[in-house]
Structure 1
């Protein structure tokens, strides 16, 4: 994200060389009019050599199958000179790389009319007749031939104005039923022009473009012209015309960009791709979203009424002054905040936050831009936050392996790295992708380690514990599914940790329940627990290599409502399978560590190495070598699919290596970064919130609150994003205490209400699905 440099083209006027983008660069709410098509057709900038970024919206890169699906049974006509012919060929290439003009019922025509004259007028006039089938899309443009043939004379320009005036009403008539685009002339690179084209100057081209814009835009008296000006190719040409072979025609990459823009203009409103926000109307508000808006509105009103009543009562009970002593009589006692007030306040704040979520990613209020990866955009922020984290060192309260401060720190720096990975678009760089996969696996490793440790040590398999964990994991996602109209599986990480928590719970809670207190160092019970873990591993292997069985289980209603995405559970199977062993590895590591700790084999005192010096040094050496070996292997990956196949089995190597490096030296175990730990405490909220208020278009793009200043935009959007995530974490904790009480009878009643809520949600969802079909 940066301001491009637009070079001065020889022979052009400096003022005219400036892109249309600059005239709109400070319109913060540019998309309010829902006319992002205008910006797509007229403005933008290059993010790299060949990556075009339209102003205010995202451009989708269409695949052959998508393009054919959009244009099936459609007739697309190109009419004009050699430049239009090149655009035609580039457009055909999107649909069929073999340059077949007709295929899959898509009719594509190019009509050679290099001048705006009677011949072009007659061709257009035929289409205006009622008996003739009209093209669905018409792309027209011409001027350079007129300049060349008439040697750039002023009489030729006058004739051009007269001719385009005569065809303007015909184009306007066609534009009522078809999409009509008039392509303005691109600048030329005068130094490369042949002698017989030297009269084609940028000054002449600007004059012809001004004439076309003026006449076509004024073809209707009382309303805006339906003929769309395709002027964005001028901006593309200003950057790339120097690479032209003849100074007149654009290089192939630029023509492909122009053709892709044309595809986005027509197909985005039909196929509605997630990462193609240009030319897409705002999605309709669903019944569930309307009900959610009513609920949050009532919560806000309810809290305001409660606050006003409480404030007035407080004023009435304000301490009075004793006239004799001049001292205040403190006749009231501070009462604790009621559960109702906390509930209303939480939903009030949540309602305002959800309104911000909706405005950012559903209301077309703010701009969205495509991601563009560079090594510097990923590695520089990584180095910065790592250095920053080192400066906030504090002593840990305890020096045990993977103590609470250390796990929070681990979650924190991993989450920050993942956030930078997402916003920089680093998934396109395979070595970075493979290392990020390890970080995701490390989160799941901690899930296995943390929950196993809790159940093994505490032996608390009560329903209150289960409900507390499930509520904290899923509350925000359920709210977002309702407000943002997204399926549960869309936020894939939460379903993943939820299912694995339930797997851990069921594995340990099933008979015989084996816990540390019961085992008490007895090898028989330890063997029984290992047997349980062995059966769990077999079950994981069976599901991993039996896709049919996995899909049958999760395609059952109502599980299908939670785990289906785009009508099937393949995405869920892929996500689950990608890290299928790491939770088991976390559980096994917790068991081994706690067994060694119980037998007092480990030295966990402050400043003491975990083992004897020789063993500690040997394990540190092995860990460093293993860590680097995995990184070398991940960096040498050439094929994502092959590396993903190996990842579930080998990711644990780097995770265990990191744990040993971090915990074997006593001094390393005794300190932690409070900076990273703070982010670690809200890591789940950060991961979920980024979908809609930091990134955009469901993580495919970047949210732009402040256009024209990428650095300031990142600072402002990041500050709001982190504050919102922290606030949601507080709200979730407050609501968990109220909605999930410790008293079992009260909890069962709440669970019945929650079950009724989800039943109602399923019914409303079914009604919505039927109405859509």
Structure 2
């Protein structure tokens, strides 16, 4: 018979996860797994079969509330050592799990309090009057939220949002976007900050001189018009080269009025076969207004002249890109007496005539001449800075020139952060095969489901025809491994389609990042308050216990996400502190894996396969689907490399484990020598760039570590945090040694050391922590600070660890809000590249244009749901792909090796 939790009990189990969602709408925090009794070990991502195979993740300790009992044995060492084994098996260096926060029942019972935290039965005993009614309403609200909101429902809502937004953007693309983002680039946009222009729906690249030269080296560009067009001409040339040297051909033709002279100039440009202009920029009107004193007759004559010029421009547009600049506004208070007749109302009238004629409203066919109207929007904001009210201030003409560069050069240069005017890249052979594979998996899964349902209906019909008494319904039989595999691959295929449409197709919009202090620090304060508000008791109060490391990874990951989306890398103090967070991840890698190998001695191929699979599965799939090199997702190669480094250090002869050292303490000295040898290897590679590059340029390692044809990026990333893993290993060894000799006090109310030692260490930790922050905040040169970072980042990391763990009350509580994110931190870090950020992290994905705040909320909600689902998919596929049986595992590994060989062959064919 099925058992069900009481609603109040169910809500209490996920209270700390539901409430952040209700407040922030950021993530689905209520977890459906906890609504089913005694099934957490089965339904959570890290079940008993997989808890010990994440990156630094190890089996959970025995718990009466979990579905996985672990037989307690003492193979060697003291009871404290065995306890340390359990503690360190729980710690991890990178999140590969997606468990819900622990059930409050695992925490020590607290003193019953009056309303509203007491259970429903206690409310009547402890509350009176209005307080009693409020408590009852509070508990009723909790029940309702728990009943209707779960991870499953959140993901269903995210799926519905994706489908709705996809349809809306597809319709908008087909009916309103014309030729694509180019139309928006030259017609609309807004200022993000001072002199920072953001086109509507796409990202604008800021061209360097070298890029502009490569684009226009063999092109001919002609500017035709008045003094304002001449200003644009000079700004355009300034981008190519500040010295105004000839790189390509650039002409300016003085024709301040739309008349027969301008018409003849356009005719000569279209008929000149020797030096045809690749791009023509033209515009004029203010001169006509001035010399005719703004008369209505001059406006009528302008219309006649534009009608005569339009066909010539159409002919020219057949062989060149033609842009007609609408007239920018003027700042009337600054106009001289001779220009007072040039009013904005008259300029608008002239612009309406030009746009109406060139847009084809007076003809049957659509014009091929591009109307450049965005300069008007740019000038409206800053024309007041004009020196005479007529001519454009320098920022206005510079931005307009950069827009022109993007309109012409993006399809040639293909900058990553310039999505305007870039067509959707064609699919590669590997991408096409991947699409076919996922489609096949979906079809096969549907066929299996249909066949199973058909078989079930036929069986029911046969039972009825034979006159057998209908038996009570039984539980649905468990799905086969093949069905689970196809189901996981089908879900993964749909998710990868979303990745592709977000960051490779032009279905969704993208925008540039723009850093402000408020855009970084306000979200940081917000999540800090949320994290501190939702806290629970830990299962145990050991140093760096499982809940604490999940919390640590969680808040660090949230800070890194905000750092990326706000563009805070341009602010050096924030950059230096985030560098410490990355080093802290690697510190946890060294700490967690060393602890596991030292205590367990498990160097089997199954362990290695599970860790490497879980770390790399999502990245490998993204490399195939998104057509990106492995090194592009730099953090995963980095963590994978350091895991193998730790494995080699611990597994190679002589293997020194804790049980070995317990028998003879001299083995501790041997381990120190092994760690010293590992440190010497790190130092040698860090000071010998040539040897490093030669090593990693060898085939097939070069296929993993090259980016843009060289391994420099890998060298830079590796060198930047080269000592962090070693520091984590050394810290783990010292901690375990102190624990073995019973020099630590790890009770929930006890300080970690004696009172005097704890006070001194805590004082120095606080001083060191803030000293590092002061130094990082005063950094002026990024290169110099990066040189010092590998050696001194450990100061702030260790300071944080001691501050967080010396007081017993600090070790015994953790933030369930941060811990929830920590369990999916790896997926969050990787998924942000394409479905939260855009253009390979250079921009921001825009699902809801025109409302940045709503867009962030919706895109974040979808992003977190996707990361959570990928976490479960990875776990399911790891269990299917990597069995524990050695012979079966060897066969699977051979198949995986064959798959990568095939990828190498296809990649070589693709690049030829």
TM range (shorter): over 0.9
For the 8 Å contact 1:78–1:85, the answer to whether it is kept is yes
Corresponding residue number in structure 2 for 1:747: 889
1:11-22 equivalences under 5 Å are none
Corresponding residue number in structure 2 for 1:481: 623
1:671 aligns with 2:813: yes
Determine the C-alpha separation between the residues in 2 that align with 1:334 and 1:285: 41
Query: Cα distance, 1:318 vs. partner?
Result: 6.5
Query: Cα distance, 1:739 vs. partner?
Result: 0.5
Determine the C-alpha separation between the residues in 1 that align with 2:424 and 2:673: 55
Corresponding residue number in structure 2 for 1:710: 852
Corresponding residue number in structure 2 for 1:125: 267
The equivalent position to 1:215 in structure 2, one of 357, 361, 365, is 357
Determine the C-alpha separation between the residues in 2 that align with 1:269 and 1:177: 17
For the 8 Å contact 2:696–2:702, the answer to whether it is kept is yes
The equivalent position to 2:660 in structure 1, one of 509, 518, 526, is 518
1:294-693 equivalences under 5 Å are 294-315=436-457, 329-330=471-472, 335-520=477-662, 522-693=664-835
1:23-48 deviations in whole A, cap 9, x for unaligned? Answer: xxx97444555510000000001111
Corresponding residue number in structure 2 for 1:79: 224
1:322-369 deviations in whole A, cap 9, x for unaligned? Answer: 9xxx99734857543321111111001101111111111111000001
1:57 aligns with 2:217: no
Corresponding residue number in structure 2 for 1:279: 421
Determine the C-alpha separation between the residues in 1 that align with 2:606 and 2:303: 79
Query: Cα distance, 1:119 vs. partner?
Result: 2.2
Corresponding residue number in structure 1 for 2:246: 103
Aligned length: 740
Structure 2 vs 1, CA of residues 132 and 27 (structure 1 numbering), >3 Å: closer, same or farther?
A: farther
Query: Cα distance, 1:311 vs. partner?
Result: 3.0
Q: Which blocks of at least 5 consecutive residues in structure 1 are unaligned?
A: 1-25
For the 8 Å contact 1:382–1:417, the answer to whether it is kept is yes
For the 8 Å contact 1:371–1:423, the answer to whether it is kept is yes
Structure 2 vs 1, CA of residues 238 and 307 (structure 1 numbering), >3 Å: closer, same or farther?
A: same
Corresponding residue number in structure 1 for 2:28: none
Determine the C-alpha separation between the residues in 1 that align with 2:522 and 2:463: 62
Q: Which blocks of at least 5 consecutive residues in structure 2 are unaligned?
A: 1-166
213-222 vs 283-292, which moves further: 213-222
For the 8 Å contact 2:595–2:733, the answer to whether it is kept is yes
1:661-709 deviations in whole A, cap 9, x for unaligned? Answer: 0000000001111111111010000000001111111111111111111
For the 8 Å contact 1:470–1:498, the answer to whether it is kept is yes
Corresponding residue number in structure 1 for 2:372: 230
1:184-215 deviations in whole A, cap 9, x for unaligned? Answer: 00011111111000000111111111111122
Q: What's the TM-score once normalised by structure 2's chain length?
A: 0.79
1:355-398 deviations in whole A, cap 9, x for unaligned? Answer: 11111111100000111111111111111111111122111112
Corresponding residue number in structure 1 for 2:841: 699
For the 8 Å contact 1:319–1:331, the answer to whether it is kept is no
Structure 2 vs 1, CA of residues 228 and 623 (structure 1 numbering), >3 Å: closer, same or farther?
A: same
SS in 1 for 2:218: coil
Query: Cα distance, 1:118 vs. partner?
Result: 2.3
The equivalent position to 2:303 in structure 1, one of 153, 161, 166, is 161
What is the aligned-residue RMSD (CA, Å)?
1.9
SS in 1 for 2:536: strand
Question: RCO greater where, 1 or 2, for CA within 8 Å and sep 6 or more?
Answer: 2
For the 8 Å contact 1:77–1:111, the answer to whether it is kept is yes
Determine the C-alpha separation between the residues in 2 that align with 1:333 and 1:125: 81
Structure 2 vs 1, CA of residues 178 and 27 (structure 1 numbering), >3 Å: closer, same or farther?
A: farther
Determine the C-alpha separation between the residues in 1 that align with 2:807 and 2:205: 50
Determine the C-alpha separation between the residues in 1 that align with 2:808 and 2:460: 56
610-619 vs 333-342, which moves further: 333-342
SS in 1 for 2:733: helix
216-225 vs 561-570, which moves further: 216-225
Corresponding residue number in structure 2 for 1:292: 434
Corresponding residue number in structure 2 for 1:22: none
Structure 2 vs 1, CA of residues 334 and 623 (structure 1 numbering), >3 Å: closer, same or farther?
A: same
The equivalent position to 2:234 in structure 1, one of 89, 100, 125, is 89
Corresponding residue number in structure 2 for 1:20: none
SS in 1 for 2:418: coil
1:415-436 deviations in whole A, cap 9, x for unaligned? Answer: 0111111111111111111111
Query: Cα distance, 1:222 vs. partner?
Result: 5.0
Query: Cα distance, 1:221 vs. partner?
Result: 4.8
